[in-house]
Amino acid sequence: MTEQNIKIMKLSSGEEIICTVVTDEHPRTYNVTYPMKVMTIPRVTGGGIEESLSLTRWIHFAEESIADIPKGQVLAIVNASIGMKRFYEYCVNKLNTEDTMDRIDEPTDLELDAEDDYLDDFEDIETPSKLLH
């Protein structure tokens, strides 16, 4: 996966996907691998409403990880941010690992605690408003 080819596409359906663009040389389609739907999930917390990010398979139950997207369905295409690229690569690697396994393991308590410790580092950051973007 080449990092410079990781793009976010806004589709005419309203969906946003992140994918690796293999080629855009065809006049009518983008050839992409591992397209994943970008979803934000609002949660009510003591500090207000926060949004978390989730990447899910864009096309479920497909045997291939390659798709052709008609250029006419793409409203905008932009480079993904560095953080988004890293999250996407993590999700693709996790997806490939899970595809080769018979079952999906739940995260261990140690992994959950490590994630909580990581998120605690961000609690002390001052923001100009109570909304996090």
In the chain, how many domains are there? Answer: 1
The pLDDT of residue 102: 47
The pLDDT of residue 116: 59
The pLDDT of residue 24: 86
Q: Which residue has the tokens 């990010």?
A: 53
Domain assignment present for 125:
no
Regarding pTM above 0.75, the answer is no
Does residue 81 have a pLDDT over 90? yes
Cα dist. 89→13, 44, 72 in Å? 25, 28, 27
The pLDDT of residue 2: 59
- Give the CATH number of the domain where residue 109 resides: 2.30.30.100
Domain assignment present for 133:
no
Neighbouring CB atoms inside 10 A of 41's CB total: 9
- Which residue range forms the structural domain that includes residue 37? 3-120
Domain assignment present for 126:
no
